[in-house]
Amino acid sequence: MAYVERGDAVTWSELERDAEARALALRNAGVSAGDRVALLLPAGLESIRTFWAIQLLGAASVAFNPMVPDETAVRRIQLVRPHLLVVPSDASPPLLRTAMDAGLTCFAAGQVASGGPLPRPDVSPDDLAFLQPTSGTSGEPRAVMIRHRNAIASVTASAEAMNVDSGDVLVSWVPPWHDLGLVRFVIGTAYSGVRCHVVTPAIATIPEWLSTISATRATITGAPDFAYRLAARLVDPASVDLRSLRYATNGGEPVRRHTIEAFERTFGLHDVVVPGYGLAEATLGVTSVRPGEGLRSDARGNLSSGRPFPGIELRLDEKDAHGEILVRGDVLFAGYFDADEATRLVLRDDWLHTGDTGHIDADGYLYVLGRTRAMLKRGGSVLAPRELEEAAQRVEGVKLAAAVGVASDGTEEIVLVVESDVQPEEASGLGTSVAQAVRGTVGFIPERVLIVRPRAIPRTANGKIRHGALRDAIIAGTLMDQVIG
């Protein structure tokens, strides 16, 4: 068995035959080695089958989030100028019209053709395997170009460091348009010859994610921090048994100790959720805590993201005790598509300048403080927004918190924005509780605490806080419309 999606499943031999038949249909539509093929498909077996069909042709896939408005999706797809856009067989007429008006050629997923065997393309390790949409280190929408050798280096390093073997069972809740979903759970599944159960990614399916782990006795899973945080709130621990897990990767956004402790306490686990650090420009993972190692924090309470994977080097572009995180290794991308200048800014002398600030301890463990441009300044020292945010999120009634620095009269004013669904008359009390919680953690009270409605804090498509956009909204005054009380 290869991949399973609820009642649907495919073995490796079935997948090979099916991918070849789909590849023949794509070839009949004009796709050849080196072409780019965009996917606008829901997460699941249809997307996985199509991905492998594209690989058999030596073409490069680019998966996009189909949950965004049609106009937004088409605008993003246009940036990579694909030969074809693969859409669901039941794609809506408005989507097809929008794509056609933008000059895109649509191809219905699931089409097959005969006439094989399909000739295998002459693929070089330096040819493109896929493009990964990302906000990039600059925050601008980009497409990261990943070569075959980058992908192989990434899955090889991860499998070695985490001791993945054919006896493992994976459960994926992360979509294939996210690098964790594609590299770890689609490509990594094939690399290690394991079985992967695919769960539709959505807040509403978090209980299904955990119940699938329980029912299949899964050993490996992964998700961003917020998914573990919500799982501990939404899922009855008596309804699942997660003790089969060897490890559960936590990455893709700042990892909070409180999240891990709450999840493991709720479901009776110990040293299973492992923090990691990665980025699309490094294909996927850069560092990870190894299974069973336990959590490690620095003197400020910042949680370590672990040691580098094999074949990856880290160093800091140091300023004081911290600096920008630099990465080197065969996992580094080929560059941003159609963005040579942006590529030159981040790839210099074989090192990737990540735009993230952190430090490395004497044992080689990395501590990621956050985006360099999001760091907070107080009394001559630098603070990670996470230090304030995590303290705030321990307060009952807080759904999400984000801390930013705003220039004010020549100094920096720290503003803490808190999402909540409290009533207006309760907002002041919640703000006071949050301020006291922050003072107990970092020793001071933020200049301002704003209680806002849920979803008021800007996020990326992957759920990461957009600190720069939040700062701009505070300066422009547009956030005030969302303030409660």
Q: What is the mean pLDDT of residues 216-232?
A: 96
How far apart are alpha carbons 35 and 106 in whole angstroms? 15
Query: Which residues sit opposite 366 in a β-bridge?
Result: 306, 360
Residue 85: pLDDT band with limits 50, 70, 90: very high
HSE at residue 400, side-chain half, CA atoms within 13 A, is 20
State the average pLDDT for the chain.
93
Query: Which residues sit opposite 62 in a β-bridge?
Result: 38, 131
Residues 387 and 359 in one domain: no
Residue 363: pLDDT band with limits 50, 70, 90: very high
CATH number at residue 248: 3.40.50.12780
Reply yes or no on whether the pLDDT at 319 is more than 70. no
What confidence score (pLDDT) does residue 375 get?
Answer: 83
Residues 104 and 162 in one domain: no
Q: What is the mean pLDDT of residues 154-181?
A: 96
SS3 call for 76: helix
CATH number at residue 74: 3.40.50.980
From the CA atom positions of the chain, what is the Rg in Å? Answer: 23
Q: What is the mean pLDDT of residues 467-483?
A: 93
pLDDT, tens only, 38-62: 999 999 999 999 999 999 999 999 9
> Of 342, 372, 402, which marks where a domain is finished?
372
How far apart are alpha carbons 203 and 173 in whole angstroms? 10
* Spatial contact of 416 and 470, defined as CB atoms under 8 Å apart: no
Question: Whole domain around residue 384: which residue ranges?
Answer: 379-482
pLDDT, tens only, 408-440: 766 789 999 999 999 999 999 999 999 999 999
Q: Is residue 128 part of a domain?
A: no
pLDDT, tens only, 156-168: 999 999 999 999 9
What confidence score (pLDDT) does residue 485 get?
Answer: 82
Residues 193 and 44 in one domain: no
How far apart are alpha carbons 215 and 210 in whole angstroms? 9
Q: Is residue 130 part of a domain?
A: no
Close Cβ partners of 117 (under 8 Å, ≥ 6 residues apart): 20
Residues 61 and 84 in one domain: yes
CATH number at residue 452: 3.30.300.30
Q: What are phi and psi of 69, to 5 degrees?
A: -55, 150
Q: Is residue 25 part of a domain?
A: yes
How far apart are alpha carbons 474 and 478 in whole angstroms? 7
Give percent helix, percent strand, percent coil of the chain, each to the nearest 5: 35, 25, 40
* Count: domains in the chain: 3
Q: Is residue 463 part of a domain?
A: yes
- Percentage of residues of the chain with pLDDT beyond 70: 97
> Of 339, 372, 405, which marks where a domain is finished?
372
DSSP H or E stretch at residue 3: strand 3-5
Tokens of 376: 């907070």
> Of 325, 347, 372, which marks where a domain is finished?
372
∠ CA 199-200-204, rounded to 5°: 105
Q: Is residue 131 part of a domain?
A: no
What confidence score (pLDDT) does residue 234 get?
Answer: 95
Q: Is residue 172 part of a domain?
A: yes
Residues 201 and 337 in one domain: yes
Reply yes or no on whether the pLDDT at 484 is more than 90. yes
Q: Is residue 132 part of a domain?
A: no
Residue 137: pLDDT band with limits 50, 70, 90: very low
Residues 336 and 475 in one domain: no
Residue 407: pLDDT band with limits 50, 70, 90: confident
Say which residue the tokens 């990455």 belong to.
251
Residues 254 and 393 in one domain: no
Lowest-pLDDT range of 144-153, 208-217, 374-383, 447-456: 374-383
Q: Is residue 233 part of a domain?
A: yes
Q: How far is CA 217 from CA 3, 133, 221, 311, 464, in A?
A: 15, 32, 11, 31, 30
What confidence score (pLDDT) does residue 397 get?
Answer: 94
Reply yes or no on whether the pLDDT at 136 is more than 60. no
* Spatial contact of 238 and 267, defined as CB atoms under 8 Å apart: no
Q: How far is CA 207 from CA 239, 266, 358, 454, 484, in A?
A: 9, 14, 34, 21, 31
pLDDT, tens only, 322-359: 799 999 999 999 999 999 999 999 999 999 999 999 99
Tokens of 55: 């690989």
Before 66, cis peptide (omega within 30)?
Answer: no
pLDDT, tens only, 389-404: 989 999 999 999 999 9
Q: What is the mean pLDDT of residues 121-128?
A: 95
What confidence score (pLDDT) does residue 322 get?
Answer: 78
Residues 182 and 291 in one domain: yes
Closest alpha carbon to 75 in 109, 38, 110, 107 = 38
Residues 82 and 180 in one domain: no
For β-strands 169-172 and 106-108, DSSP reports them as: unpaired
Residue 363 DSSP code: T
Residues 12 and 149 in one domain: no
Residues 368 and 384 in one domain: no
Residues 364 and 316 in one domain: yes
pLDDT, tens only, 442-460: 889 999 999 999 999 998 7
How far apart are alpha carbons 464 and 466 in whole angstroms? 6
